[in-house]
Structure 1
Amino acid sequence: MNCLRFCLAAVIVRFSCVIAVWQLIGVLFLAECWAGGRPNIVLVYADDISARELPIYGSSTWTINRGEDSSDPAVRAKTPVLDQMAQEGCWIKTAWASVVCSPSRAMMMTGRYAHLHKWWNNSYKGRYRNEIGKVTTWPLYESSPMLIGYVAQQGGYATYWAGKTQMPGDLREYGFDQGCFTPGSLSDKDNPFTDFKIVGKKVNGQKLVINEDTGEPYDTYDQHGWYFYPHVRLMNHADKDFQWWPNTPETIDSFGLGTYGPDVELDFIFDFMDRQHEQGKPFFVYHTTHLGHGAFDWLNPENGQTWPGTPVIRWDGDGYTRTEPKITGDHGDYDTHDTVTDVGIHHHINYLDYQMWLYRKKLAEMGIADNTVIVFCADNGTAGYGKNSHEKQKGVHVPMIIYAPGMTKHGEQDVLVNMSDLLPTIAELTGVTIPDEYEHNGESLVPFLFTDQTKHREWLYGYSRERQMIRGDLVMKDGYDRWYDVSKDPADLISFPEITNWNEVSEAHRAERDKLLEVLPEFDLFETEPDAPGSNLPPKEDKRKGKKTNKDTKAKDAKASVGSTASGPGWMVAFEDSYDDRTDVGGNYTIGPGMQDGWSVTDGVLLGQQVKDAHGSTIRVLQDFDDVDIQFDFQFQGGTSFNLVIDDQNEKSVHAGHICRVSISPKRLRISDDKKGGMNLEVRKQRQNPNLSPEESEDLVEILASTQSAAKVDLQPNDWHNLRVRIKGETMKVFLDGELATTLKSPGIDHPTKNKFGFTVNGTMFGFDNLVVRTPADIAIR
C-alpha cells in the first residue's frame, strides 16, 4: 500500500470510529427487519444486459442476434425466479449504469463518477505515477479507498468476489477476503489445465490471433475461456495468494470440457457462505458474472464470437433441473450430445435465472433467507444494441431487482436509481458511516426500500469520456446533446420523442432541463482533468477527433481530377456515405467483436483506431458486387497503416473470406490478390511453416510476388488524400489523388461474388470520409 492510500485509509479510520456499531437511527430504522442481526448481502452484477431483455420490463422488442431486434417470444428470456423476486421484492423501472464495462464497474465499486475516479471509458482510464514512477492506469483502490469491499469489511463482514474482474493492479487490494475469478487476467498465460485460449502470436513476422485449441487463426481478440473448460484463478485460498483451479487431485480428475465457469463460481461462493455462516459472521458476496457477455465459441469455432450455449436447464413450475453437460471431442470438433443449448443471449439470461434459484434455495437451506438482501443488476446495455451507445438511454438502462425481507416496496417502482447508489446502500446495511468529508455520488436506497418514502433521487447521470447523459422524470439529454421527453414510456422502452421546440413542452419540462444543466458542469472534467490529481502528466491527445484542416481543399482537388471518369451513363452508385449530420457509426456497418471502441463519427468524419493489440480494428459493409469502383478520402492522424479489404464471406478457400485488398502506410501502397496469394489457406500454411525446404521457400516467395504490386508514397500526418480502387476482371488499379499509383493483374481478383468490403486500421488514428461505391453496367473501367 503506498503512502497516499495509507493516509487516506487512516483518515477514514479516524472518521469511522463507530464502524462496527449501528448508529442509533439505523438501529431503530432496521432492527425490526433483521431478526438475525445485520443482513447478509449478495450483489449479482450481470454483464452486457439491457433492461429490455428481462420479461418483467415488458418491452415489445429484445435481442435475437447481435444488433438484431425481435418480438418473437421464442427468443425471449424466461425468468420465473427473477420475476418472482421482482414482485416479492421490487424492480426498478429506470436504473442507470454507464455505457460500457469499466466506467460502470468503477461507479459500482466506488460510488463515484468519473470526475473523481477517472475511469471515463474502456478506452480511457485516468493515469498516475505508481511507486516506481511508471505512468499507468490509476487503480480504483488508489483513487477511492472506500470501495464496496472495504466498506463491508469495515462493518465486520467477510467478503467474496467471484467472476469477471476487469480491474488493474493487485486484486487483493480491492477489499475482498477471497476470490474465484474467470478468467482472471489475460496476462495469465500459464494455465496448464485448458487450451481454450485465443492469443496473439507472431508467425513468420505476421501478427495473428490463434485459437490454441485448433491452432487456427481467427478474426477476434485475445481472451481465455470463461464458460466451458474455463480458466479459473483463486485468490487467498489454501494459504496461497493466487493459484489455478483445479487445485486438488479430485478436482483435477473431474475437470474437463463439461466444466462450466459460472457453476464453478457458484460452488466457491456457496462454500464461502457456509464457512462464514458456521462462524456466525455476516457475508458480502460480489458476483460479477460473465453471463450476458459474448465470447468465442470454442465448442463451435465456426460461430466465432457469439453468446455461446449454456448447459440445458428446465423449469417445471416449482424448480429447475439441469442436464449435466456431456461433451466429447478435441481440436475444435466437439459433440455436445444435446446437453448444451443453442447460442443466444436469452439462454444466458435463463441460466442467470437458474442461478438465482440456486441462491434462494441455498439461503433457505441455510436458514438465512429472511436475513439476506439480494440485488440483481447489470453493468451496461446489450452488445449490438446498448453497449457503448450514447443514444438516448440505450447504453445505460439496465435491469435492477432488489429482494430483501422487511421491505415496504414491492413490484414495479417508478423511481430513478444509479449504480453509484449501491455503495452508500451497502454502507447503511452493514452499519458503516461514510465520513462527511469523503465525497461520493450515490444515495442510499435504504430509506426508500424500508419506509414510506416515495421518491429516491431527482436525476440520473451517465458518462463516457466527454459525453454526458442525464435525465430526470420528464426530460433526458443523451450523449449527443439531444433532448427527449421521457414522461411516458414507449413500448420498446427507447423510442422517446425528441424535443426540438421547447415551447411545445410544459414549463415543468423546461424547469427540469434547466436544473439538469446546472448539475452537469461539476462532472464535465474529461477535457481538463482526465488523470489523477497531482499526477502532473502531459495531456493525452484525443486522437479520435478528426480535424478537417486541409481536407476541404486537398480532397476536393483530388476528387475533381478523377470524379468524371466514373460518373457517366452506365454507372450506378451502390453505396455512399459522407458521415455528415450524425454522431453514430450507423446501421450499415458491422464492427469487429470487441472493437466497438475503435470506431466513431465526429465532425462528419469516420474515425478508426486499433483497440486490440493482436489485431487491427475492423469495420465492414455488406454489399454485393463483382467489378467495382470504390473511392474515399482518408487521413493519417497518427496510425501506422490501414487496409481496404474486399471479401466474399462465403468463400472457404481463404482466411476470413479475403479476396483482395489495398494496404497503405505513410511510405508504401500495396495491392494484393488474397485469394491466390497470402490469404489462401494452403499458402498460409506454407507461410506459417518454419520448416520449409529451400525449394518450397522459393516457390512461396514466387507466389507472393506474383500476387502483389506496390508503389512508394509519401503521405504526411493530417493531410487528406483521395484513394480510388477500380476492379475490372482480373485487373485492379489504384489511383492516389488522381494519379495511377499501381496496377495488378491476377486471377483471384476476378472472383465473381464479392459481398463485403471495409477498413482494417492499425495504430491510432485514421479519418475516412466521402465514401462512394459504384458498380459498372456497360462501361469498361479504364
Structure 2
Amino acid sequence: MIAIAAIASQVHAADGPNIILVFADDISARELPLYGSSTWSPPSGGDTADVAFRAKTPALDQMAEEGCWVETAWASVVCSPSRAMMMTGRYAHLHKWWNNKDKGRYLDAKGKAVTWPLYESSPRLIGHVAQQAGYATYWAGKTQMAGDLGKFGFDQGCFTPGNLSDTDNPYTDFKMYEKKIDGGKLLFNSDTNQPIDSYLQHGWYWKPHVRLMNHPGKNKGLQWWPNTPESEASFGLNTYGPDVELEFIFDFMDRQDAAKRPFFVYHTSHLGHDAFDWLNPQSESKWPGTPVVQWDGNGYTRITPNVTGDQGVYNDHDTVTEPGIHNHVNYLDYQIWKYRNKLQHMGIADNTVLIFCADNGTSGYGKSSSDRQKGTHVPLIIVAPGMTKQGRQDVLVNMSDMLPTIAELTGATIPNDYEINGESLVPFLFTDKPKHRDWIYGYNGADQIIRGDKVLKDGKGKWWDVSADPDDLISFPQIQDWNQVSDAHRAERDELLAVLPRFDLHETKHDAPGVELPTIPAKQKTNNNIKAPPKKPKQNPAKVEATDGIHGLKKALAAPPKPNVLSVFTEDQKRSPTRIVGQGGNGKLLFSDDFDGRSELGERYHTSKAIAESFTIVDGVLTCKQTQEDHGAHMHPMVAFKDGDIQFDVRFKGGTQFNVVIDDKNDKTVHAGHICRVSITPKKMILGDDKTGAMNLEVRELRQRTDLVADQVKALEELLQKTRQVGNVEIQKGKWYHVRVVIIDDVMETYLDGEPIARLQSPGIGHATKTNVGLTINGSTIEFDNLQVRSPKMSPLR
C-alpha cells in the first residue's frame, strides 16, 4: 500500500493530474478494430463483416498502444442506468435507475412522486469527488439526467440537451413537435412541418441544440447558444454539435491552465447514438453522416462542411460522410487526436489522464439487451503518465470503477460508511498487480448480468463459458450441463450466485428508501403527479367497507380453483416434447387472412369507423398506426373458441407496442369483455389475465380510486402481479418475426420465431368462451401478415 500511495502521489503531484473522461454513446467494443471482432454494425443496424463499414481508428489505436486497453469492460445495457453507474460509482440497488423507463421515485417537497435524482440518492457524484479535491469541473454533451443540472458537481457545462422539455430554443428548427390530427397525435418535423415516423428528439448533430451552464459572463445558470453576435452570425447548417462541445471544452481547459488549477472534463458525447437525419429526412439509416475527416498517416484533415438548402431539401456538396456508426467512431477518433494534440500544445500531456469508454452496446445489436454481454461490453482505453500497464489487458473492469479511480487520482476521500460498488483502477494501472477484480455486473430492470473469468450469467438466466473469446466476441458456448465443465467453472458459478442477492432489489426496494408507491406497469407513461397515499383518509363507514373489499377479492384470488402459476419457461419445459411449439398448425383452422388482393380490412373485422382509418393494406401487408390520442388503433376478427392457437407475422416500423387481446363480448364482469391479453414491445412480452386481474370491474374500480391507504395499494399491486407474467425478447425495427400465442384451459404460452418466451397459468384465462381476437396498436407503424387462429390439439405443460 505504501508503494501504491507513492506512485499515486507521483501521478497527481502537487496540483493533481488533469482528467478527461470521454463517455461515448451506444458503442459496443466490437465497433473498434482494436478489439478484433469478426463482425460489426452496418448502417442499418445488425451484423456485417463488410470492411467498408468497419471503423478506422489510428488515434485510438495509438492511445491504446501508449497507454492500455481493457479487453472486458462492462457498463449497463442502456443509457440512463449506465450513466447512473458512471456518475455514482454504484449499482441500481442504491441509485434506483433500473432502466431508461424504469427509475425509482421519491416524494418531492410538494408530495409528488418523481424520479429520484442521482444527487439525492448518491450525494457524492463523480463531479462532486473532483470538486472536493479542488478541481474545476466541466460537463459537455448529452445530459439525460433528472433534476437540476447545476447539482451534479460541475462548475460549467455545454449541453446538447437530452431533456425533451427543452423546446424553446430560438436558434434551430431541427426539432420535432406533436400535433393532434382528427383526434390522433402525430409527430412532425419542425423544419418541414411534415409528419414523420420517428421518436421525439432534438437535433444534437447538425444545426444543434446547445445550452451553456454558468458560462463566463453576466448570464449564470442555463442559456441557449449561440450567445454572442459573432456566434449567431456563424451558427447554421454547417454547425456540428460534437465540434461545438469540443470548442467549449478546449476553452475551459485553457482558462483553468492559465489559472494553474487542475481540471476534470466529463465529455458525454452523442456520437454513436442513432438519430433522425434532418439533412436526409427520408433516410432509413440509423446514424446520420459526420463531417468528412481524412487520415494521412500522421494526422487528420477535416473538410469544412458546406451544407446548403432548407425545409428538408439539402445538398452537402460531398462534405458529409455516408451514414453509419463506423463514421461516428471515425469522428470520435478524430476528436481523440484533437484532444491529444491540444494537451501537447498546452504542455500538460505529461500530467493529464485521458480515458475513452462508452455507455452500452450498439443500437440494433446490443443496446438494451440482457443476452450474454451484448448490451454491457464496451471499449475502454486509458493513457496516463506513470502507468505500468501498456497495451492489451485481459482483466475485468466496470464503469462503476471510474468514480473511485478518479477519487484516488485526485486525492479525494470517500467515507468508509458510504457504499461504493466500483473499485479504483489505480493499484492495477500503476503497479505490477496482475488482476483488477473478480467479477463485473450489469443490470436491465429486474435482469441481472454477472461474469467472472470463466462463466457468465446473463439476464435471461442462461450460463455461458467465457474462458475463451470467440471471433465475434459474443458466441460463447452455453453451459447446459455443469458436469461437462471444470471444477473451477462450477466454483466461480457459486461465487457469482452468492453475489447477486445483494443487488436483487428491483421488486422489493424499487424506489427511494421509505417510499412506497404503486408500481408503474412496464411501457406505460409515468404519472409524475402521484400523491403519497394518505396515512388515514377521512371516510364514512360505507366507504371504508367498499375500500376493504380489496381484501376479500385478494383472498378469493389467492385460492383459485386451480393454482396460479407464474413462470417463464424452465429449461426442462423448453426441451419437453409436449410443448405445442414445433407441432405446426395441427389444429382445426378457425380463421386465416394473408391480406392479399385488397386494400381494406373488410367485413370480417369489427372496428369503429374512425379507427378504421388506422388500417391499410398495401402489397398484401396490413399496416397499422394509432390515429386517436385517447385509444390505440384496434380491430377484431370475429372468431369464437375456448382454446386457441393464434399465429401471425409482425414487423415494427416505428410503433412502440401492440396488444393481442382475447375477448368475450358477452361477459359483463370485465371491462369491454377483455378476458386475457399479450402486450408486445420490442423488448417484452407481457401476459395478462384480464378477467380476474386488471380489467375485472371490481379491480378496475379500485385501480381508479385515489383514496386507498398504503396497505390497500400494496394489496392491489400484489393482486395485479398474480395475474401477469413478463418475458424478455429482442425485436429489431424493420425485421419480420413470427408470433404465436397458445391458450389451453387456464394456461397461456407465447413464442417468438419458435422460441418459448413466457407462460402464465391463471383462472381467468380458462374462461369458457372467447368471441374474438383483437389487435390493438399504440404509437406509430406496425405491420402484420399471415394471421391464423386454430384450435390446438395438445396441452401445454402444467
Q: Say whether the fold is shared (TM-score over 0.5).
A: yes
SS of residue in 1 equivalent to 2:214:
strand
User: What is the CA distance between 1:185 and its match in structure 2?
Assistant: 2.2
Does the C-alpha gap of structure 1 residues 648 and 265 become closer, same or farther in structure 2, counting only changes over 3 Å? farther
Alignment of 1:168-179 (within 5 A): 168-179=146-157
Q: Which residue of 1 aligns with 2:245?
A: 265
CA RMSD of aligned residues (A): 3.7
Q: Judge conservation of contact 2:625–2:633 (CA < 8 Å) in 1.
A: no
1:649–1:394: structure 2 CA closer, same or farther, 3 Å change rule?
A: farther
Decide whether aligned partners of structure 1 residues 530 and 75 sit closer, same or farther in structure 2, where only a CA change above 3 A counts.
Answer: same
What's the CA shift string for 1:644-684, capped at 9, x where partnerless?
Answer: 95554999xxxxx9589999999996589xxxxxxxxxxxx
Match of 1:345 in 2: 325
Name the CA distance, whole Å, in 1 between partners of 2:97 and 2:771.
46
Q: Is 1:116 aligned to 2:94, yes or no?
A: yes
- The aligned runs of 1:620-639 (5 Å cut-off) are 625-626=596-597
Residue 363 (structure 1) aligns with: 343
Instruction: Please point out which of 305, 308, 318 is paired with 1:328.
Output: 308
Once the two structures are TM-superposed, the CA of residue 130 in structure 1 deviates from its matched residue by 1.0
CA deviation profile, 1:389-440 (whole Å, cap 9, x unmatched): 0101000000000011211000000000000000000000010111101001
TM-score by length of 2: 0.70
**1:334 shift after superposition:** 0.3
Q: Kindly tell me: are residues 179 and 511 of structure 1, through their superposed partners in 2, closer, same or farther at Cα, counting changes over 3 Å?
A: same
Residue aligned with 1:63, SS: coil
Aligned residue in 1 for 2:777:
760
- CA distance 1:414–1:331, shift in 2 (3 Å): same
Change (3 A) 1:24 1:499: closer
| 2:674 aligned partner, one-letter code | L
1:248 pairs with 2:228: yes
Alpha-carbon distance in 1 for matches of 2:378, 2:365 = 12
- Assess if the C-alpha contact under 8 Å between 2:352 and 2:384 holds in 1: yes
**Mapped pair 1:354 → 2:334:** yes
**Does residue 276 in structure 1 map to residue 231 in structure 2?**
no
Q: Which residue of 2 aligns with 1:45?
A: 23
Per-residue CA deviation, residues 226-277 of structure 1 (Å, 9 max, x unaligned), is 0000000001112321110000000000000010000000000000000000
Q: Return the letter of the residue paired with 2:353.
A: V
- Asked if the contact 1:377/1:398 (under 8 Å) is kept, the reply is yes
- Counterpart Cα distance in 2 of 1:128 and 1:406: 44
SS of the residue aligned with 2:261?
Answer: coil
Range with greater deviation from structure 2 (109-118 or 35-44): 35-44
Superposed CA deviations along residues 338-373 of structure 1, whole A, max 9, x for unmatched, are 000010000000000000000000000000001000
Partner Cα separation in structure 2 for residue 282 and residue 660 of structure 1 = 54
> Given residue 320 of structure 1, which amino acid in structure 2 is its aligned partner?
Y
Do the aligned partners of 2:402 and 2:422 also contact (CA within 8 Å) in 1?
A: yes
Q: For 1:320 and 1:492, how far apart are their aligned partners in 2?
A: 29
Equivalent residue, structure 2, for 1:429: 409
- Tell me how far 1:188 sits from its aligned partner: 1.3
Deviation, structure 1 residue 760: 2.8
Look up the equivalent residue of 2:47 and give its one-letter code.
Answer: D
Count of aligned residue pairs for this structure pair:
602
CA contact (8 A) 2:43 2:285 kept: no
1:164-206 deviation digits (Å, cap 9, x = unpaired): 0000110000000000000252111111111000122223432
TM-score w.r.t. length of structure 1: 0.71
Q: 2: distance between equivalents of 1:624 and 1:264?
A: 50
Sequence identity percentage: 61
Matched residues in 2 for 1:210 and 1:662: separation? 14
Residue 787 of structure 2 corresponds to which residue in structure 1? 773
Residue in structure 2 matching 1:103, options 81, 97, 109: 81
User: Aligned to 2:432, what secondary structure does the other structure show?
Assistant: coil
Aligned match of 2:710: none
| Amino acid corresponding to residue 78 of structure 1 in structure 2 | K
* Structure 1 runs not aligned, ≥5 long: 1-22, 554-578, 583-602, 605-622, 631-640, 652-656, 673-710, 725-736, 743-757, 776-782
The answer for the alignment partner of 2:674 in structure 1 is 715
Give, in whole Å, the separation in 2 of the partners of 1:182 and 1:396.
Answer: 25
CA contact (8 A) 2:92 2:98 kept: yes
Native 8 Å contact 2:37 2:473 kept in 1: yes
Q: Would you say the 8 A contact 2:184–2:629 is kept in 1?
A: no
Amino acid of the structure 1 residue aligned with 2:496: L
Conserved 8 A contact 2:599-2:616: no
The answer to whether structure 1 residue 504 and structure 2 residue 484 are counterparts is yes
Aligned to 2:381: 401
Are residue 134 (structure 1) and residue 134 (structure 2) matched? no
Q: CA deviation at 1:740?
A: 8.3
Q: Which residue in 2 is equivalent to 1:528? A: 508
Query: Counterpart amino acid of 1:212?
Result: S
Quick check: 2:17–2:409 contact (8 Å CA) kept in 1? yes
2:109 partner amino acid = E
How much has 1:32 moved relative to structure 2? Answer: 3.4
Residue 77 of structure 2 aligns to a residue in which SS? coil
> Could you say which residue in structure 2 is the equivalent of 1:68?
46
2:160 maps to: 182
* Mapped contact 1:117–1:144 kept (Cα < 8 A): yes
Q: Secondary structure at the match of 1:295?
A: coil
- Inter-CA distance 536–663: structure 2 relative to 1 (3 Å threshold): closer
Whether the aligned pair in 2 keeps the contact of 1:258 and 1:325 (CA below 8 Å) is yes
| Deviation by residue 1:569-598 (Cα, 9 ceiling, x = unmatched) | xxxxxxxxxx9889xxxxxxxxxxxxxxxx
For residues 15-54 of structure 1, the aligned pairs below 5 Å read 28-33=6-11, 37-54=15-32
Query: Which residue is equivalent to 2:368?
Result: 388
Aligned pairs for 1:203-222 (under 5 A) are 203-222=181-200
